[in-house]
Structure 1
């Protein structure tokens, strides 16, 4: 299955201001969408939303996106369906938001929370109160009525970093947590707490991917719009139908299928030749 990179919520800008200099990305550029989202991350850093380390993380994700073919593959589609089913079944679902998520998919994050009845909570490794407030403002500007994370009073056991700080009525109380673009140590700590953890991670070998209950190996710019579509389709399912979807899922099998997909794709590219002569 190939899911387009364009999203239905708004028309993307074609120009970015970096400081006082305008950066123009021509739509004819063969890497238009990749450059566009890269600029969103850079702009997020300049606006105090994304941490500098977020640029490195985004670049690493781009590399893995090349490996899977820059498209939504069947294992990711299956994982998304299970993730949505679990969010719809949850008593207290929460979607965690970091700087990269706020820079890349703020509107989609808010929409996904609405259709799954999930709460939003800002959670940052490089936490400052100013960054938390700015991310909350971005989410509210795109339609969020409530954003948690500004007044954490609890700490995830065994997690000493700033990511251990959570709100009692948010992640602390949650039974299902969606933690996209996540650090492995927090994923592991949340699972230890008995929470059902869903992650979106382009690296199938990361600790987050291996520790989560459901791992969506896809680019978040494709995953969130598709999850919104699925949630709208599945919210009328019976509880029994949703539970059957979740109970039949095997995350280890899904990760194995992703690795096999990458291997097959690399083998095909090696046989066909990755260099293609263009007509001049």
Structure 2
């Protein structure tokens, strides 16, 4: 019995050559594809980014230069694959696709997208300082139906908020002399309200920017510009679109946030 059958996988869809010596049937993950009838998110997570922050001496707990570099990474997927929407925070990039980007194999999406993100991040971060260590991203695909698109964004934004307050609380405790295991124990299990009180007590609450707490949202936005029609020999108004980067996005779990995302989807702007 062929290995993919033995292990219960779909038939491989490898692009490798077939023949007497071929082990294509052992490429068991190549047959796993994006399921039909679903939208899907691709989530990219930075690998060993704590080292990057340390080596580049980035501002703690959040650095606008790094956040901008990740937005530039996200924009690559709009330009190459016509990504529908992107949401980024910390070292994470979430890409929404309403249509397949020309291929459907999970294995290929994960490998190609991680490679593009790693390459683009390297290019952008080397604008600050040249370095010789490796930047990497892991990658996963998350299918979602229409209602789950909004749920997913709410979930990731909640994680962003938690990450924000935890990071600033850590800075607050470091100011009080805590470090290592003692610091971790003080933060363990604390709710956002408790973290917020700690941050306020140390005078750091006003340091929190909207993008620290709510992340950064990227989406297509239509605009009009003057053009020229050579056939009619006259100026015309043409409609174009560009990627808009919102550093103060709506709260996705609010009424206005839900309406905003659903309208983007309804109007074909994602």
The TM-score by the shorter chain falls in which range? under 0.3
Which has the larger share of strand? 2
Normalised to the residue count of structure 1, the TM-score between the two structures is: 0.25
Normalised to the residue count of structure 2, the TM-score between the two structures is: 0.26
